[in-house]
Amino acid sequence: MRRTPILSAAVAALPVLLSGVSCAPMAVVGTAIVVNEEFTEKSHSKVVADDVELVWASAKSSMSHMTDDLLDVDSDVKTIRTFVDGAEVMVKIQNFDVGQTKISVFARRYLVFSDEVAGNVLNSIVRDLG
């Protein structure tokens, strides 16, 4: 029987394709898109008259006092993820205008949006800015 190079490559790649390893990045990307859309639609937001770096530092401090869990901090996009009162909380800090910063908070408990937790976290962050 004569094998072609394409057939040999396909046979060699078959275990990798069947193991599901190649599907993992697609699942992560798909989940990130859903979280971003849901975050935009269901987050509590407030614009404050403070510099973005000041708000970012204050938000990290506030979040560390609200939870005993570790903070998953992404300084490049200014996001914080952690758990507060049993809910997964995501905080995003954005430069809104000169001297103004937008704080957005999304929370979900048991895979359902938690309006109460998001509002409480946002109020705590704003109150700590003082």
Residue pLDDT, tens place only, 65-114: 999 999 999 999 999 999 999 999 999 999 998 889 999 999 999 888 99
Residue type, 12: A
Q: What is the pLDDT of residue 64?
A: 94
**Nearest CA-CA partner of 92 in 53, 45, 42:** 45
H or E segment to which residue 91 belongs:
strand 87-97
**Nearest CA-CA partner of 46 in 125, 110, 109, 108:** 125
Q: Name every residue whose Cβ is closer than 8 Å to that of residue 82 and which is 6 or more positions away in sequence.
A: 63, 66, 67, 69, 70, 71, 72, 88, 89
Q: How far apart are CA 19 and CA 70, in angstroms?
A: 32
What are the CA-CA distances from residue 27 to residues 33, 34, 35, 122 (Å)?
10, 11, 12, 30
Residue type, 73: V
Q: What is the pLDDT of residue 38?
A: 55
Residue 5, number of CB atoms within 10 A of its CB = 7
Least confident of 19-33, 37-51, 71-85: 19-33
Q: How far apart are CA 65 and CA 111, in angstroms?
A: 24
20 vs 119, residue with greater confidence: 119
